[in-house]
Chain A
Amino acid sequence: MAPNASSLPDGLVAFVKRDCPTCELVAPVLLQLAADGVLTVYSQDDPGFPDGVAVSDDTSLEMSWRQNIEAVPTLLRVEGGIEKERAIGWHRGEWESVAGMTGLGPDLPELRFGCGSLSVDPEHATDLLLRFGQAGLQARRIELARLEDEIEALYDRGFSDGLPLVPPTEKRVLAMLEGTTRKPYEVVAVVPSDLVECTVEKVAINAVMAGCKPEYLPLVLAAVEGACTDQFNMHGLLATTMSAGPVLIVNGPIRKRLGMNSGVNALGQGNRATATIGRALQLVVRNVGGGRPGEIDRAALGNPGKFGFCIAENEEDSPWQPLSADLGADIGTDTVTIFPGEGPRTIIDQLSREPESLARSFAATLRGIYHPKAVMAFDAILVVAPEHARLFAEAGWDKAKLAARLHELCMIPGAELLRGAGGMAEGIPGDQAPEFIPKFRPGGIHIIHCGGDAGLFSAVIAGWVGGAIGSQPIIMEVQS
C-alpha cells in the first residue's frame, strides 16, 4: 500500500537525493536492504534515484519536512508507525544497528558524512513551514485585489509613514520570526495611545514593512517594550506639540553582528540596520498603537528623525565607557536605550586644543537648546565625534569629568532667565531669580561617542520634557 502522505510506513525508511555523493555511495546498500526486507526510499530530487529500488517521490519535501530530516542519506527504523532509531549520513555501524543486519556495504568506507536535506535548505524552509506547518500566525489576512499594486495597496490602507513599505507576506513574516526565540503570540507591550496589546507577531509584521532583517527583530522588540513603558511615556511623546520622537542608542556586540554603522555619517542615511530598526518602532507606534500624525501625534513641526532614529555608539574607539555602562548595564551586554529626542544640532569647534575650551563650546550650545531661558526642563544627548573625544582622552578627562564640567558651565545667571530679560518675553516668571539656575537636571546630559575619524565636530540632540512629569530615558537589554 502506498504510504500515507504524512505517516511513516513500517520497516526501514531512507531519505536520499541524487545530488549527494554520499547517497550515490550508499545506493548499493539500499539495494541490499530492499532485497532483504521492507524498505521505503524517499527521494527528494529525483524519483528515479536510486536505480533498481522502488522509490517514493518526495520532491514536494513534505515527508522529509515532517520527519525533520536534516541531512541525507538518513535511515530510519519504524515500528507501528513510530520511529525507533535513526542513522544520519553513512556510518556502517549505525546503519547496521538501525537495520538489525551486519555486512552492509562491505566495499564502502566506514564513515562518510551526508549532505544537507533539501527540506532544511533556506530556499525552501519557509515555504515548507507555510505549506505543511502550523505557523500559528494570528494576524488578519488581507487579500489584495488582482489589479492592486502591492506597494500602493499598503499606502492606500494607511500603513505607511510616507515611504514605501515591504509587503508583509506570510512568508516574510515567518522568516522575520526566525530572528527571535520568542513565540509569535507573546505580548511584548501595550502600545499607546490606543493601549493595544502588541504581540511578537505584530512587531515582526511592522519590522518586515520597515525593511528589517530577521536578526534585527530582537532589538526592535526591546525598543518597542521600552518605548511603551510608563517611564518612557510614548503617549505623551506622541501627543505633545513639540518635535521630539523616540531616539534609539544601541550598545554591545549586537552593533557589529547587525553591521550597524557608528563611523562616517553615523547619524545619517545609508545603513540598513540603523535606518530600519528605528523605523520599525515608529511603524508599531503608528499601526498598532494608532499614533498617527494629525491624530494623536500633534507635533507642530516634528523632525526627520521621526521616520526612525537609531544610533550605534562607537565603543571600540571610544576613550570612554559606553552609554549603557553609564546607565548601569554591564559592558558587553546588548542594550538599546530609548531617549525622547529631536534632530541633531552640530557643534563646530576647530580651534580648541584644551579640554576646558572645548567643554565651553559644548556648554554654549547645550545652553541654547529650545531656548536659552528654558531651564531644568529638557535632557540632552551630547554626541562627541572621535576628533573631539581624542582631545579629552589625551588630557585625561573621563566622561564623568566632562559631564560634571558641563553641568557647571551650564549654570546660568538667574537674572538672564527672567521674563523680559534680554528683550525677550520668554523666561521664568517673577521679578527675582536665584543667582544661578542649572540648565539641566542632575544626570540630564548623556554623552555618547560616534562618527567619522575626520571632523572637529560634535552634536547635541535635545530631549523632550525630562523626568517623571514627562519621559525618562530607559535602557533595555536585548534578548534573543
Chain B
Amino acid sequence: MSTDTQTQPGRVILDPTGEQAIVARERVARPKTIDGLTIGLLDISKARGDIFLDRLERELTNRGAKVKRYRKPTFTKPAPHDLRQQIASECAAVVEALAD
C-alpha cells in the first residue's frame, strides 16, 4: 500500500436522512381468546371495505366478541389522533380493513 493512499484524508459527507432513532415498542400480547373481548373494526373509507368488515363482524360476534365499528374520514391520510386514542381506550384489539 502506498504512502500516498495511507495519508489520504478521510472524505466526509453529510447525512441526508432524518437521522431518526427508531424506538422499538413492545407489542401487546396476543389475546388467548376473543370471547368477551371488544374488537374494533376500522373502516378506512375505501370502496367495499364495509363488505369485508360486515362479514368479519358476523364471524367475531359468533365467536363471542363484542364489536365496535370505526371509520377514518379518508383512506388517503393517517387516522386522526383522537380516533386512534378512542379505539385504544375502547377495544382490546383492532382490525383495519383494506379493500378495493
The interface of chain A, by Cβ under 8 A from chain B, is 137, 139-144, 146, 150, 153-154, 159, 167-170, 173, 191, 194, 196, 198, 201-202, 205-206, 209, 230, 233, 235-236, 239-240, 283, 287-290, 465, 468-471
From B3-11, B23-31, B34-42, B61-69, the one touching the partner chain is B3-11
Q: Which residues of B contact A471 (CB under 8 A)?
A: 76
- Most chain A CB within 10 A, of B74, B75, B77, is at B77
Pull 10 A–B residue pairs with CB atoms less than 8 Å apart, ordered by A. A140-B14, A140-B19, A141-B14, A142-B15, A169-B14, A170-B12, A233-B76, A236-B75, A239-B76, A290-B18
A149 to B100, CA, bound (A): 46
Which of these, A153, A235, A289, contacts B78 with CB under 8 Å? A235
Q: Which residues of B contact A140 (CB under 8 A)?
A: 14-15, 19
Q: Which residues of A contact B76 (CB under 8 A)?
A: 233, 235-236, 239-240, 465, 469-471
- Given A235-B78, A469-B74, A469-B76: A142 and B18 interface contact (C-beta under 8 Å): no
Residues 33-67 of B contacting A (Cβ, < 8 Å): 45
**Cβ of A196 and Cβ of B14 under 8 Å apart?**
no
Size bracket, chain B contacts: 20 to 34
Q: Which residue of A lies closest to B15 (CB)?
A: A140
Query: Shortest beta-carbon distance, A266 to chain B, in Å?
Result: 29
Known: A143-B12, A170-B14, A287-B17. 5 other contacts (CB 8 A): A140-B14, A144-B10, A144-B13, A154-B13, A236-B75
Query: Shortest beta-carbon distance, B19 to chain A, in Å?
Result: 6
Q: Which residues of B contact A230 (CB under 8 A)?
A: 77
Which of these, A137, A236, A288, A290, contacts B14 with CB under 8 Å? A137
Q: Which residue of B lies closest to A206 (CB)?
A: B16
The 4 A-B residue pairs with the shortest CB-CB distance, nearest first, are A236-B76, A196-B18, A140-B15, A139-B14
- Given A236-B76, A465-B76: A290 and B12 interface contact (C-beta under 8 Å): no
**Cβ of B13 and Cβ of A191 under 8 Å apart?**
no
**Cβ of A169 and Cβ of B12 under 8 Å apart?**
yes
A196 to B14, CA, bound (A): 17
Query: Shortest beta-carbon distance, B85 to chain A, in Å?
Result: 17
**Cβ of A139 and Cβ of B15 under 8 Å apart?**
yes
A114 to B5, CA, bound (A): 43
A233 to B76, CA, bound (A): 8
A383 to B2, CA, bound (A): 59
- Given A159-B17, A206-B16: A235 and B10 interface contact (C-beta under 8 Å): no
Residue B89 interfacial (CB < 8 Å): no
**Cβ of B14 and Cβ of A235 under 8 Å apart?**
no
**Cβ of B18 and Cβ of A198 under 8 Å apart?**
yes
**Cβ of B14 and Cβ of A205 under 8 Å apart?**
yes
Residue B86 interfacial (CB < 8 Å): no
**Cβ of B16 and Cβ of A202 under 8 Å apart?**
yes
Query: Shortest beta-carbon distance, B71 to chain A, in Å?
Result: 13
A194 to B23, CA, bound (A): 12
Q: Which residues of A contact B6 (CB under 8 A)?
A: 146
Q: Which residue of A lies closest to B17 (CB)?
A: A287
Residues 70-92 of B contacting A (Cβ, < 8 Å): 73-78
